[in-house]
Amino acid sequence: MEKKKTSVYLPHHLIILILLRLPVKYLIRFKCVCKSWFSLISDPHFANSQFQFTTATHTRRIIGLSSLSHEIRSIDVDAWLNDDLPSPNLNFLLPKSYFPFEIIGSCGGFLFLYRFPDIYLWNPSTGFKKQIPVSSFDSNKPHDNLYGFGYDQSRDDYVLVVFSHVSSHLEVFSFPDNTWKEIDGTHIAYVVDPSHRKGFLFNGSIHWLAWRQDLELDVIIVFDLIKRKLIETPIQNDFGGLTLDADSGLWVFGETLSIWILTSDGERMEIWVFKDYKVHLSWNKTLVLSVDFIPDNLNVSPMYSTKNGEIIIVTTDGSILVKYNSKGQLLEHQSFCNSPSKVVMYTESLLSLPGDNE
């Protein structure tokens, strides 16, 4: 006798709880299952809940974008750290009109792309793209400006920042209002290496390395995204005689703000950890990485570190990825981009921008 087939019914709230736990790449595919799933996964509230719910299991990717060949390559960072190396993902679409550009930073799954005088935000996971109106201030002397990108949780607003280290003029872009707003700066002129113009997002603030010529002192300029205020932190450390020039930068080692510096011979990278914002002398040299196997014509910078201390660094042209363990011992390195590329790490998300949810 033929058995009757039984269908399994899952309450709607259980379906939501299951979907919230899934990675973005699967959710994008599951939009095709049925109209109700398409509507649910496309809902901005679901996207926000999923991003918050999966904080501990976010998929982090390194992406390389070539202005020369227009090639785009991406790789799952955690899969590589766990020795499960997927092939670089080429399934990204970006209009050729966006090239060439600089990648200023990433936040919430969005990349801040800058090609004077155009500004774009792009979510590689969803393909969402938005052009931002240019600040009249930025169009005057862009080479004098510092840039940053972050998220203000108190206002549910992503923040673009343009700051002149010469005139101290400061503007932020508000997405709900779709306008630039001027904010009081520091009224101090700084000297900033071109390699340090891209702000580093950490702990709800954007950070830039700079030089106070009047005090002959290295400082970190900090813009608090919630208070919308600039502050300055002196760096009272000689880093063993190494200088904070183009071969240095801000970074997060583990969960702590750090500075990386290449030695003058280019064979080692030192990681100095800032233990306490309030104690300006609390810089400790924590790790030294050997990079002497990197060709002399290529520079390197750190890209990512896990809570366990594993580290990924990348050549600045995106051609080589390198992995170290928590003790700074080289584990492996492999080729990544086939042509010179801009490289950044981002977190996969379904998020949209404020004002684009309607």
Decide which of 100 and 161 is more confident. 161
pLDDT of residue 354 exceeding 80: no
Q: In the numeric block, which tokens belong to residue 286?
A: 């924590």
Mean pLDDT of the chain: 86
pLDDT at res. 140: 66
Report in angstroms the alpha-carbon separations of 252 from 224, 257, 259, 307, 320.
Answer: 17, 5, 8, 10, 20
Contacts of 14 (CB under 8 A, 6+ apart): none
CB half-sphere exposure, 159, CA atoms < 13 A:
29
Rounded CA separation 267/142 (Å):
34
Query: Could you report the per-residue pLDDT of 305-343, keeping only the tens digit for each?
Result: 887 788 999 998 999 999 999 999 999 888 888 888 889
pTM of this structure: 0.89
Rounded CA separation 164/159 (Å):
16
pLDDT at res. 281: 59
- Domain ranges in the chain are 11-57
Query: Where do we find the tokens 């982090």?
Result: 60
Rounded CA separation 91/81 (Å):
22
Contact 146, 192 (CB under 8 A): yes
Average pLDDT (75-95) is 69
The residue among 47, 125, 93 whose CA lies nearest residue 348 is 125
Query: Could you report the per-residue pLDDT of 101-145, keeping only the tens digit for each?
Result: 888 999 999 999 988 878 899 999 998 889 898 887 766 666 778
Query: Could you report the per-residue pLDDT of 152-189, keeping only the tens digit for each?
Result: 989 888 999 999 888 888 999 988 888 899 988 777 88
pLDDT at res. 169: 86
